[in-house]
Amino acid sequence: MAVERVQSAIARARAKRAGLETVFDADDIPMPDDDDVVIEPVAREDWNLLPKSGMTASILDRARIVTGGVSKNATAFDMLRTKVLQRMKAEGWKRIAITSADKNCGKSTVALNLGFSLARQSELRAILVEADLRRPSLAKVLRITPPAGLAQVLRREVPFPKALVRVRDNLAVLANRARSPDSAELLHSGMVPSVLAEIERAYQPDVTIFDLPPLMEADDTLAFLGNVDCALLVTTAEHTTTTQIEACVREISDRTALAGIVLNKYRGAGAITGY
Ligand SMILES: Nc1ncnc2c1ncn2[C@@H]1O[C@H](COP(=O)(O)OP(=O)(O)O)[C@@H](O)[C@H]1O
Ligand SMILES: [Mg+2]
């Protein structure tokens, strides 16, 4: 039942979007003024110098990370990884956001599982950035104690190499140990594009995953979507309504590409549905 509900919401949203696309005029998009783009030189940082924190089986278990190794439980996320990677490679995308209508849908859990699944492909390098500064959870669930988080990096209090921790040889996390009351100002600030570009220039990740706040909570998530190439929408079988899904699909599609919709906390088969 839940799967049909999500699928019909997706179909309706897609039909509406198709309608919108026919009136879309590329000339309406304001082009950035060349003078606004400041590219500062950033040295290539040594990825191998980032501190590494060992992940025990019990940490992974408690964090509900099922993609640490090959297993039946990992299959759904591995399929999601493969689909997302194919699309990202085909489109030349590097940044993917994970969001949902509401809190507790499993954004962080999906972001972590996608990150660990990507990390099983040794030729890839991935960074997971926790941009949910109101309800940060990654440092806690991964049992890591980074000296600083995204908030301090965006305030330029700490250089970003000090905040990244590797949880796999090829997966680093920029997590937060505490909430930031000025989350909206930070995520809206002009620092975001510069800091993200600096991190990419320094470490050359193939994929950067952003664990975002809920979409319907505040407009900082909407603003942040302008910084990513695509987004995954996480829904739950029990709590996300069709109206919420349609609204989220609309908001995401207005700002970036919708890479897919994940149906989480579903007890039946087929926990993942595409877009
Ligand atoms: N598929 C799932 N089955 C059971 N519990 C889950 C599932 N996905 C997430 N959870 C749990 O639900 C809670 C909220 O998940 P979380 O990923 O922190 O959500 P969000 O980041 O959207 O607020 C956490 O305790 C998490 O362990
Ligand atoms: Mg979260």
pLDDT digits 0-9 by tens, 51-88: 999 999 999 999 999 999 988 889 999 999 999 999 99
User: Is the CB of 103 inside a 6 Å radius of any atom of ligand 1?
Assistant: yes
- Does the pLDDT of residue 1 top 90, yes or no? no
Poorest-confidence range of 33-42, 90-99, 240-249?
A: 33-42
Q: What is the mean pLDDT of residues 28-39?
A: 49
Rounded CA gap, 199 and 21, in Å? Answer: 33
User: Is the CB of 273 inside a 6 Å radius of any atom of ligand 1?
Assistant: no
Contact 176, 152 (CB under 8 A): no
What's the gap in Å between 264 CA and the centre of ligand 1?
9
Class of domain 2-20+71-273: alpha beta
Poorest-confidence range of 25-34, 40-49, 172-181, 248-257?
A: 25-34
Atom of ligand 1 nearest to the CA of 266: 1
Q: Whose CA is nearest to atom 2 of ligand 1?
A: 265
pLDDT digits 0-9 by tens, 204-240: 999 999 999 999 988 889 989 999 999 999 999 888 8
**β-pairing verdict for 126-130 and 207-211:** parallel
pLDDT digits 0-9 by tens, 103-133: 999 999 999 999 999 999 999 999 999 999 9
Ligand approaching nearest to the C-alpha of 132: 2
Q: How confident is the model at residue 269 (pLDDT cuts 50, 70, 90)?
A: very low
Contact 79, 191 (CB under 8 A): no
User: Is the CB of 5 inside a 6 Å radius of any atom of ligand 1?
Assistant: no
Q: What is the pLDDT of residue 238?
A: 83
Q: How confident is the model at residue 22 (pLDDT cuts 50, 70, 90)?
A: very low
Q: How confident is the model at residue 44 (pLDDT cuts 50, 70, 90)?
A: confident
Q: What is the mean pLDDT of residues 38-58?
A: 83
